[in-house]
Structure 1
Amino acid sequence: MIFAVIMVLIVVGSVVFHFLSPWWFTPLASNWGYIDDTTVLTFAITGAVFSAVVLFVAYCLWKFRHQEGRKAAYEPENKRLESILTALTAGGVIAMLTPGLFVWAQFIEVPEEATNVEVVGQQWLWSYRLPGADGQLGGADNRLIGVDNTLGVNPDDPASGDDVIIEGGELLLPVDKPVRFLLRSIDVLHDFYVPEFRAKMDMIPGSVTYFWITPTKTGTYEILCAELCGTGHSYMRGMVTVVTQEEYDEWLTTQVTFADLAS
């Protein structure tokens, strides 16, 4: 009976903690509110199943507790019960996976008007490359990295000259404009993550991964590395500021281009 009471208290405490906990989402600042909706739905389904299972076990402990003269009934198989449990389990899994598939389909379908912004991760620094006046990013290759070309930009690509280079500085993005982050690592695994944007992706050496967002609120947000990348992992942070289009255009004209660095 003591264990039955403890299990009931665990369920009650878990539900109370969930609704009163301060560990909720950071304010949403992008189009990916779908991520929040999917997470809440997953919590609801798994929380309901957790509560039902634990309370059922507590009920069984109370209902079938030891009593003098009572004998246990032996029932090795119950096809009806097995069928019900299998159907409920399958239904729960489908209910959790289906919304995620729809969100993932939107996550990988980048709008045609999205601006490409390259993010380069290295121990333990964030660098960025933005398109210049031509609106295009030049080519890049980790094999081209050197003392005078720390991001490995291809100097023979005509589109590279006006690319804006930001090494370890603050990134600015225009509000309400879709952005595709092209993610590249030059040493180990990293993960580009801005909690308020609700989107992140691993950065794999030798590959270019991506995700896209549309910033919806002006403000300054912290960039984190969400993949353990070495002893300085916790210090690999940066800042991204979402501003108006006019402020972004003005800021862009003050930045250094690849041609400036090369000269």
Structure 2
Amino acid sequence: MQRPLLVAALVLMVVGAIGLALLRPWWFAPLASNWGSIDQIILLSLLLTGLAYAAVNLFLAYCIHRYHKGPAEYIPEEPTLERRLIWITTLGIVVLLAPGLYFYAHLIRPPKEAHTVEVLSQQWLWNYRYPGPDGKLGRAEVRNASPANPFGLDLEDPAARDDIVVIGGPLRLPLGEPVLLLLRANDVLHSFYVPEFRVKMDAVPGMVTRIWFTPTEAGEFQVICAEFCGIGHARMLGQVLVLPPEEFRAWLHTQPGVAQTLGH
């Protein structure tokens, strides 16, 4: 590629990237949870990486234009320049990582009053378990899992007998009240993601992961599996219904416990 074309291509790349950022043809889904701070973290990351992208490419274009005639000078060591680059890089990494670590520390520490719901993922379905009238989830063992009892609930445990199981959803949540999700997977790695809630967490076989949020908008939202989980991955969608608190409690009160649904 000729020098003027290469310089023009680098400059156009920067201008095009800035134009896309300003025009925003693709942007965040409307916020529907308390985690608006994650938007600020993403914007900060885009700003810093965008400035670095523009600076590097424009500097490269300048060097190609300015020094194309003269012979190149080989400098094996430049301690001053290297120290400056190290400090600039370190500062950039700290600015990028610190807000994310601060956010994550809050993300994994739910309020004590949060509603607990267990999310069980499997190819290619989302299942949910709510505590019954006793207010706590009962014991579950993988060895007890079956098509009729996918959570593997131990029906000898009184705390498990009144748990409310919803196979295939939808996931119903109360508006304006914090919710703690406990995520499990029955087969392979899945990832629970609702764009409007700004929450995404992997569901890993053999362990329980957790995430919390507070829905701030009533309505219907879509659960997406954000981890490739097999040939039916694209069909692994779910539904979330955010209801007024009194409507949510009325629905929960009418649901039978797992002992009733399994005939025990």
TM-score by length of 2: 0.95
Counterpart CA distance in 2 for 1:2 and 1:23 is 29
Letter in 2 for 1:148: A
Is residue 2:138 matched to residue 1:138? yes
Q: State how 1:60-139 maps to structure 2 within 5 Å.
A: 60-66=63-69, 70-139=70-139
1:11 maps to which of 14, 38, 60 = 14
Counterpart CA distance in 2 for 1:193 and 1:74 is 51
Q: Deviations over 1:71-128 (max 9, x none)?
A: 4434332221111111111111111011111101101111111111000111101110
Letter in 2 for 1:40: L
Moved over 3 A (4+): 70-74
Partner residue in 2 for 1:209: 209
Shift in alpha-carbon separation, 1:231–1:73, aligned structure 2, 3 A:
closer
- Classify the secondary structure of the residue corresponding to 1:101: helix
Q: Deviations over 1:125-174 (max 9, x none)?
A: 11100012111111112210124323211101111122111001311100
Letter in 2 for 1:131: P
Counterpart CA distance in 2 for 1:147 and 1:218 is 33
Counterpart CA distance in 1 for 2:71 and 2:223 is 62
- Classify the secondary structure of the residue corresponding to 2:111: coil
1:166–1:256 CA contact under 8 A, matched in 2: no
Partner residue in 2 for 1:162: 162
TM-score by length of 1: 0.95
Counterpart CA distance in 1 for 2:211 and 2:193 is 11
Partner residue in 2 for 1:21: 24
- Number of residue equivalences: 260
Counterpart CA distance in 2 for 1:71 and 1:171 is 67
Where do 5+ consecutive residues of structure 2 fail to align? none
Letter in 2 for 1:261: T
Partner residue in 2 for 1:151: 151
Where do 5+ consecutive residues of structure 1 fail to align? none
Letter in 1 for 2:187: D
Counterpart CA distance in 2 for 1:157 and 1:36 is 43
1:134–1:159 CA contact under 8 A, matched in 2: yes
Letter in 2 for 1:145: A
Q: State how 1:20-39 maps to structure 2 within 5 Å.
A: 20-39=23-42
Counterpart CA distance in 1 for 2:50 and 2:125 is 39
1:117–1:129 CA contact under 8 A, matched in 2: yes
- Classify the secondary structure of the residue corresponding to 1:29: coil
Deviation of 1:49 (Å): 0.4
Counterpart CA distance in 1 for 2:111 and 2:6 is 55
Counterpart CA distance in 1 for 2:72 and 2:188 is 59
Counterpart CA distance in 2 for 1:206 and 1:5 is 53
Counterpart CA distance in 2 for 1:73 and 1:118 is 63
Letter in 2 for 1:76: P
